[in-house]
């Protein structure tokens, strides 16, 4: 497996991956998955031998970089690709002047995954699209 992760302008492919994982597998309503932030975001796309296998969406909010919409197709889960997408997002934000913190909204079942990457949970648990979440942050 040789996966490359790069910033992409191919937002349609990224949204297609999100539709497969979040809408198809997790049952998130389409109207909650697609929003106006896609137009302003930086999109990361992971490709394995020309096949799209993962994505993440990066937003800049003042001094905070927000990592979201992180997904990996079934065939590539457990390979470290999710961690590589998060690391690529952190690397992107670390190159931007004034960005001091990374933030994400984590599904509660994935808290341990993000903690291993240096994120710390804060605030109460909340519902997002019928799935329990917690906010997490990491200083850059």
- What was the pLDDT predicted at 1? 63
> Tokens standing for 25?
């597998």
Query: Distance between CA atoms of 119 and 23, rounded to whole angstroms?
Result: 26
Predicted model pTM: 0.94
Position 128 pLDDT exceeds 70: yes
Alpha-helical segments (H) within the chain: 11-18, 30-33, 81-94, 111-116
Which stretches of the chain are assigned E, i.e. beta strand?
3-8, 42-48, 51-61, 64-72, 101-107, 120-128, 131-139
- What was the pLDDT predicted at 71? 96
- What was the pLDDT predicted at 109? 93
> Where is pLDDT greater, at 4 or 1?
4
CB 111, CB 136: distance < 8 Å: yes
Position 6 pLDDT exceeds 80: yes
Kindly state the DSSP code that residue 117 receives in the 8-state scheme. Answer: T
Residues across the chain:
140
Question: Residues 15-67: pLDDT tens digits?
Answer: 999 999 999 999 999 988 989 999 999 999 999 999 999 999 999 999 999 99
Position 79 pLDDT exceeds 90: yes
Q: Locate the domains of the chain by residue range.
A: 3-106
Superfamily of domain 3-106: Gcn5-related N-acetyltransferase (GNAT) (3.40.630.30)
Position 123 pLDDT exceeds 90: yes
């Amino acid at each position: 497996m040789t996966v490359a992760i790069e910033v992409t302008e191919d937002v349609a492919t990224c949204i297609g991956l999100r539709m497969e994982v979040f809408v198809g597998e997790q049952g998130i309503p389409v109207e909650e998955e697609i929003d106006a932030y896609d137009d302003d975001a930086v999109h990361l796309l992971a490709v394995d031998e020309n096949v799209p296998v993962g994505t993440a969406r990066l937003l800049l909010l003042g001094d905070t970089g927000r990592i979201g919409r992180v997904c990996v197709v079934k065939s590539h889960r457990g390979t470290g690709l999710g961690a590589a997408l998060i690391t690529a997002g952190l690397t992107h934000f670390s190159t931007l002047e004034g960005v001091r913190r990374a933030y994400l909204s984590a599904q509660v079942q994935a808290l341990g995954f993000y903690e291993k990457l240096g994120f710390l949970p804060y605030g109460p648990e909340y519902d997002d699209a019928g799935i329990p979440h917690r906010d997490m942050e990491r200083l850059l």
